[in-house]
Structure 1
């Protein structure tokens, strides 16, 4: 069944750029929103509305008449708590509360491995382990997962929380296990939208990697079956990599470099993320 209206926050971001086109085909109207002035050429059925998720009135206006929200809008990095509070904490509350007031059926949320980033990679963790955030960024993901659970249990508003590991080009040894390809990202979000009943659900956003450090079997009902495998990059990546340090939390823990960051501080250069966002 095709949705009447779907809202995508964070539409100007790298992941949002790959989601816009497929989401526009799943609904009569896709409302893409971000804090930027423009997101380029729009797809058929898509319109852009500039808005700040930290401002309730702006979120409330955009969600009127929406069937579902794909919420990817946030600061995507570690920052001091005061900087994260509006976009990453208050922004999530605004989405859920405005969505509830408008009768939104479901929120699909870009959570993160950083909600459980302090677990060792040698533990094959599933979707029901307790939160162990590695940063204020990860803490915001824990908050929103708990928010989603509460709105389901108290108000019957569904949500799917996608604990994305690393949706970026494979440029380092960690990504051999954590990679989520853009095609698999699109499949993951699509299944979170078109699965008839989800309640409150958590699923890891990771491709079909031989070295994946997480277990998705308790989310199998979503029908997410990733097709890509980072092992195709292993020989080249490992040939250029330095020897792993087993005492380095950035190597040993699920959160990677985030697990080694001081709270409120970040060095994203360690992630070697390529900005290959899709152009329109």
Structure 2
């Protein structure tokens, strides 16, 4: 059991999924976000409000940590200045504080949007070149390269998890390939923490879907073995799904809707507006 784990982004949707499982893996869990507080703390969990753009604040919460699970950031496309402070400067402060405090490993919530403009007809592995679809995706590229740099030059290990569509259940045709269940998210983070050595590693954050569009074999040493499969939801989803357009990047690129969202504009808002109008 680890002595101390730090979780950033604890007030977010996926951070909330991870809090209890992480608390069971360590003697002390420190969770942090920009929110004033989070509810239902575990007995060994302490919440510390912090702004990731401030190195001083991140240094305070990182003191004594064995590992950092970094989920704190804007989780959507946003204007450049917002992405710069939260997702890019915030990544630097996490890795720099980890280095200064001799933290062993950063487990990072990267995203498919770092490579979102690759065609879905390309069955890509973890060596595929960066091809971001948004400023949000570009920030994920930066953080992955930062992780590589801090491993090569400073010996800080990292596991960069390129998360696809993490929901309780898949809700559209794209998700039949891209779905990551909450259970498999926990299994992936657990594997990233418990693997004896990782160096700098990239792993696709997807479940064991029949239609999975990426190859995770190069990260098999992590021991991440997803157990859920979106195919069980296929009859319901395909009965309601409209035909896909082979000329539309949204249907044909790994990044899905983010392949067409204008730079700096919310992809989540665009998706919600379509749902309301349908």
- TM normalised by structure 1 equals 0.95
TM superposition shift of 1:97 = 0.4
TM superposition shift of 1:243 = 1.3
Partner of 1:121: 120
Contact 2:10–2:72, Cα closer than 8 Å, also in 1 = yes
Partner of 2:215: 215
Contact 1:152–1:158, Cα closer than 8 Å, also in 2 = yes
- TM normalised by structure 2 equals 0.96
Distance across 2 between alignment mates of 1:71 and 1:24: 15
Partner of 1:165: 164
Distance across 2 between alignment mates of 1:224 and 1:269: 32
Distance across 1 between alignment mates of 2:272 and 2:12: 17
Partner of 1:265: 265
Contact 1:171–1:272, Cα closer than 8 Å, also in 2 = no
Matched position secondary structure for 1:15: helix
Matched position secondary structure for 1:103: coil
Matched position secondary structure for 1:188: helix
Distance across 1 between alignment mates of 2:269 and 2:220: 34
Distance across 1 between alignment mates of 2:80 and 2:147: 21
Distance across 1 between alignment mates of 2:267 and 2:105: 34
TM superposition shift of 1:266 = 2.3
Matched position secondary structure for 1:210: coil
**Are 1:70 and 2:54 matched, yes or no?**
no
Encode CA deviations 1:156-195: one digit per residue, 9 max, x unaligned: 1100000001101311110010000000000000000000
**Are 1:203 and 2:203 matched, yes or no?**
yes
Q: CA RMSD in A?
A: 1.1
Partner of 1:36: 35
When the two structures are aligned, how many residues end up with a matched partner? 272
TM superposition shift of 1:41 = 1.4
Partner of 2:58: 59
TM superposition shift of 1:267 = 3.5
Shift >3 Å, 4+ stretches: 269-273
Encode CA deviations 1:241-268: one digit per residue, 9 max, x unaligned: 1111111111100000001111111241
Greater RCO, 1 or 2 (C-alpha within 8 Å, sep 6+): 1
Partner of 1:277: none
Distance across 2 between alignment mates of 1:270 and 1:82: 20
Encode CA deviations 1:73-127: one digit per residue, 9 max, x unaligned: 0000001111111110000000000110010000000000000000011111000
Distance across 1 between alignment mates of 2:196 and 2:8: 22
Contact 2:76–2:267, Cα closer than 8 Å, also in 1 = no
TM superposition shift of 1:272 = 5.7
